[in-house]
Each structure stands twice: as structure tokens, then as C-alpha cells.
Amino acid sequence: MSAPSLPLVAVAPEIPDDWTSRLAPHARVVALSSEAAASDADIEGVLTTLTTRVDDAMLSRFPNLRVVSNMAVGVDNIDVSACARREVRVGNTPGVLTDATADIAMTLILCVTRRAFVATRDAREGRWGPWSPTGWLGSSLRKKRLGVVGLGAIGAATASRAKSFGMEICYSGPSRKARAEEELRATRLPLEELLTSADVISLHCPLVDQTRHLIDSIALRAMKPTAALINTARGDVVDQIALERALDEGWIAGAGLDVTTPEPLPPTHPLYRRDNCLITPHIGSATIETRRAMASLACDNLIAALDGAPLPHEVGS
């Protein structure tokens, strides 16, 4: 039992209790409710997930809030400016999910370019006939070009995997990444040039105003008709209506999406029925080790803020 003098924090109820048990010596823990609760006025910290919307309306429930600690690297669920105006600190969990997310990006690259998901479905549904020289042909990665949009940690880890499959790496983004250029022999290109020249385009940028619908119908029309688009970033980086048209009309060859608009994508959505689109349900960081590490880092951020110490990972600092 925690001492009543400890600060009160609210934790998103979908996070297993034992992932946040180390908060106990530092805080009294309650479940974060989507409805206003009597204890809201006493809550000093919240531990959120990417499905918790933190906006002015939500923040106004918590007059004594000092920290929002998000169990995610992306903070597009949080109005960071509204938090800053209220002097509420924001923490996130970069680093610990880099490999897991890059693994899923590479999985999507391989499954889409080799059409593995179509072949599996056909076999399961009785369409596996005698071996055929032309059965389920995909395309090879060797000597093809990967275009990474946003060469941060996850983009670079994806590029490094793709490089080991023989791909040439180019990237676009707001700043030059000298180390990655050297280690991956990556070339920085303007986005327009990356779009027209890459065989696989993998999105790794954060969702902010400048990247919302970055991949719109103009971008999709600029891509090679043989190219694949991979999105493990956020659904809204892509104009999904335009993507459906691009896949229908053959502007591009295929797409692998770990993120969509909306999430969850309803099972009746036409994208699921396409042979050239593979959808995974936002599982980029879904390994037990990674999710525990994310929860642990989110606890570290929360505890640091309650202590008035620097957060291990503070957004906007």
C-alpha cells in the first residue's frame, strides 16, 4: 500500500498493471478514466498511450497536472502547445522501439514485394496448383532503391536492414544525416526526386502539420508504377483515398500499411480486399520486450517529472 502523501497519477487502463508497478514507491496510482472523476483535481501525472487524446478539453479536467508521459514515440495524440501553455511537461519513449518497428517495416517490404500474403491466402483457399515458373512472381530487392522519408532512428534502422538485402538507400528529410550517409552510403534527395526514383518508399516521419497527407495524389502519381509504399509512421501521413485510387489504377504496384486512417480500420474497408495491399494492425512495436521497455521508460519520465528532475525523454525541450 502506498503512503497517501505520495502524488496521485492516472495510468491508461489498457497498460498491464505489472508494467507500471515500479510507480508504486513514487506515486499513488489510479486508472485514467475517459470521464471526469472526483479525483481529477488531485492528479499530478498521467501515463497515456497513443489512443489517449490529450487536448485542451482533457487538460482542463486536471488543474494540478505536471506531466503527460506518453507510452509511444509519436506524440500526435497530444496537443503539445496546450501542455506548454499550462506548464505540463510531455515525455515520450524513443529508442526502445526502434528495432521492433524497423523489423515490421522490413517485414512489410518483403511481404509486399514478394507478394507473400497473396500466395499464403491462395494456398489456404485451394489455389495452390502444380509448381509454375510464373506462379506468384514478385520483385527482388537487390540493386533496387529504398527511399526513406524521415531518416531518424527507425528510418535508419530500416535502411540498414534493407541495405543487407542489397538495396541502395536514399532519403529525404529536413536535415542532412551525415553519419547515416556515411554508414549506409545513403544519398539525400529532394522528396520529388526520391518519389520518382525509389522502388520502395518507406515512411518514417512524425505526423505534424507539414507531413499530414505528405503522400497525396501528386506524390503517388510521381512514384514508379512498379514501386511499393510502406507506412509504419502514422496513417495520416498518407492521403488514404488517393492511395486507394493509386492501387486501383496502377499508379503504384503495392502498399504495406501498419498504420491507417482510422484505426482500427473497419473490417469492411476495401483496402483489405486488395491483392496489392497488406495491412497489419499497428504492430510496429508489438514485442513483449519492446512494449515493456516502452512502459518502463514512460514510468521513468513520469517519476522524473514528479521529482522535478529532467525527463529522460522530454518532448520539445
Q: Which C-beta is closer to ligand DGY: that of 95 or that of 138?
A: 95
| 282 a catalytic residue | yes
Binding of ligand DGY by 72 (CB under 6 A): yes
Binding range to ligand DGY, per CB under 6 A, among 70-78, 149-157, 160-168, 218-226: 70-78
Q: How far is the CB of 154 from ligand DGY (least distance, A)?
A: 9
| Residue in 7, 45, 152, 284 binding ligand DGY, rule: CB under 6 A | 284
Q: How far is the CB of 175 from ligand DGY (least distance, A)?
A: 20
Q: Which of 66, 145, 204, 282 is labelled catalytic?
A: 282
| Residue in 47, 50, 154, 246 binding ligand DGY, rule: CB under 6 A | 50
Q: Which C-beta is closer to ligand DGY: that of 104 or that of 219?
A: 104
Binding of ligand DGY by 43 (CB under 6 A): no
| Residue in 285, 295, 297, 311 binding ligand DGY, rule: CB under 6 A | 285
Binding of ligand DGY by 104 (CB under 6 A): no
How far, in whole angstroms, is CA 31 from its chain's centroid? 25
Binding range to ligand DGY, per CB under 6 A, among 72-80, 137-145, 152-160, 219-227: 72-80
Binding of ligand DGY by 74 (CB under 6 A): yes
| 273 a catalytic residue | no
Q: Which C-beta is closer to ligand DGY: that of 52 or that of 276?
A: 52
Q: How far is the CB of 72 from ligand DGY (least distance, A)?
A: 3
- Residue 207 CA to residue 204 CA, distance in Å, equals 9
Q: What one-character-per-residue DSSP string does the chain give?
A: ---TTSPEEEE-TTS-GGGSGGGTTT-EEEEPPSS--GGGGGEEEEEE-TTS-BSHHHHTT-TT--EEEESSS--TTB-HHHHHHTT-EEE---STTHHHHHHHHHHHHHHHHTTHHHHHHHHHTT---S--TTTT-----TT-EEEEES-SHHHHHHHHHHHHTT-EEEEE-SS--HHHHHHHT-EE--HHHHHHH-SEEEE-----GGGTTSB-HHHHHHS-TT-EEEE-S-GGGB-HHHHHHHHHTTSSSEEEESS-SSSSPPTT-GGGG-TTEEE--S-TT-SHHHHHHHHHHHHHHHHHHHTTPPPSSBTT-
What is the size of the binding site for ligand DGY (CB under 6 A)? 7
Query: Both ends of the chain: CA-CA distance in Å?
Result: 35
- Cell 485510387: give the residue: 245
Residues 243-282 binding ligand DGY (CB under 6 A) are none
- Residue 32 CA to residue 54 CA, distance in Å, equals 12
| 234 a catalytic residue | yes
Binding of ligand DGY by 97 (CB under 6 A): yes
Binding range to ligand DGY, per CB under 6 A, among 67-75, 156-164, 190-198, 271-279: 67-75
Q: Which C-beta is closer to ligand DGY: that of 69 or that of 285?
A: 285
Catalytic residue ranges: 234, 263, 282
Q: Which residues bind ligand DGY (CB under 6 A)?
A: 50, 72-74, 97, 284-285
